[in-house]
Structure 1
Amino acid sequence: MNKCLICQDELEKAVSWRSVFFLDEQESACCADCSSKFCLIEGTVCPICDRPQSEEKACYDCERWQADPLFGSVLSSNHSVYHYNEFMKELIARYKYRGDAQLAELFYEPFRNVFSKHFSKNSLLIPIPLSKERLYERGFNQARLLADLLNAPIHEPLMRIHLEKQSKKTRTERLQTENVFFINGGSEFSGKNLLLIDDIYTTGTTIRHAAKLLIDHGAESVSSLTLVRG
């Protein structure tokens, strides 16, 4: 019997007509109790960054981004799957910082659902990279694992300079960060619509820095799909 990837309780396989006739159906990777703690983003959101709010208009942060002469138009939109509640904060910490790469299996269906709803299956996926040092430290890139869930073409032209972890910086410090990305030589994006993949959207700085670089190198448009909206 399989165990919940979060709490390690044993999972009871539910038998349904669908499970009988569709043998390749994706089995649940967590128990009902843990599953109930995920909070999907639903209802009214900012049309640019997916921040939940009472009105369907650009949020204060996105208004400021749009007014920025360098970054105002580099990102078409961001869509996210989950709210960044306390449960998700702990789960993301396990996933990113404690090496629990298997947790990516939890996000298979919800991540694919949001992708299918908002983006073309022919989208060219670009995972936000880690620096070589950070990749060695963690052993995997959490954004690449998320991209692997989508069964769409993946390209990895972005490289990253090794700096202090973003999670240790204040919101103001993140907004003031210089662009840490550069393009791997020989990459061609002319006329292409690109989709950045990352685990979390917080201030939008990381996503927009990557998007600007891609736009500057000829991309027609850049959007993003993130697991969590912080």
Structure 2
Amino acid sequence: MTCLLCDKALDDQPTWQHFLGIQKDMSACPICLEKFERIDHVIEDDVLDSVHSLYAYNEAAKEYLHQFKFMQDIALAQIFATSLRSVLNDSKKIIVPIPMHPINKRKRTFSQVDALLEAAKIPYQSLLEKTTESVMGEKSRSERLAMTELFRVTADICSNEAVYVLVDDIYTTGTTLRHAAEALKQRGVQRVEAVTLFRPIREK
């Protein structure tokens, strides 16, 4: 096997952790994985009950997202499968991926958030539909904050009392997640959390 990031051979010799079922099969080498800075940054705001971002949006993260999303290297969804399972493996919570607009999804050929969850073998419910083709990464901060409704709920809410967890690849201003949370809360959902793979860390 080779590292999905640098294409160098992985050490596939079995260890005692393998025999005990502790160590998971790796899809990237330790050198590449060390480039990602784990931060486990958690915040709350007036709409989202919590947002948990796993990694800093550093140069390694930028390169990863470019290769994964825009070069359509869907195999890279495996890289963070274990990390996502560690924070989303709760059968009492309902996992809801942030969707792409159907037109943008056809252009890219896949939804990156769905791919991340499927690689991690995390069950999810597609409850939201994006109402605009515009891409957040192409807008300024002020344009993002000024946007109106971005999502609508397209399926029945099975339990208003359950915890719903939105999942996205990156948290920037939080506009996308807040709009998604508002759409769910307008349908009676009481608690909405979020998990993102990356978040920019601004120096104080």
Structure 1 residue runs of 4 or more that deviate by more than 3 Å after TM superposition = 149-153, 185-189
Q: Please name the residue that 2:60 is paired with.
A: 87
Q: For residue 20 of structure 1, what is the amino acid of its counterpart?
A: F
Conserved? CA contact 1:188–1:217, under 8 Å: no
Conserved? CA contact 2:129–2:154, under 8 Å: yes
| Higher RCO (C-alpha under 8 Å, 6+ residues apart) | 2
Higher strand residue share: 2
Q: Distance in 1 between matches of 2:123 and 2:108?
A: 24
Q: Distance in 2 between matches of 1:167 and 1:211?
A: 19
Q: Please name the residue that 2:78 is paired with.
A: 105
Conserved? CA contact 1:158–1:181, under 8 Å: yes
Identity of aligned residues (%): 31
Q: Does 1:171 align with 2:144?
A: no
Q: Please name the residue that 1:224 is paired with.
A: 194
Specify whether residues 7 and 151 from structure 1 end up closer, same or farther in structure 2 by C-alpha distance, changes over 3 A only.
closer
Q: Please name the residue that 1:36 is paired with.
A: 34
Q: Identify unmatched segments of 5+ residues in structure 2.
A: none
Q: Distance in 2 between matches of 1:15 and 1:183?
A: 47
Q: Distance in 2 between matches of 1:185 and 1:144?
A: 17
Q: For residue 10 of structure 1, what is the amino acid of its counterpart?
A: A
Alignment partner of 1:195: what SS? strand
Conserved? CA contact 1:199–1:226, under 8 Å: yes
Matches within 5 A, 1:44-63: 45=41, 47-48=43-44
Alignment partner of 1:41: what SS? strand
Q: Distance in 1 between matches of 2:136 and 2:28?
A: 29
Alignment partner of 2:17: what SS? helix
Q: What value does the CA root-mean-square deviation take over the aligned residues? A: 2.0
Q: What is the CA-CA distance between 1:168 and the residue it aligns to?
A: 1.1
TM-score, normalization: structure 2?
A: 0.89
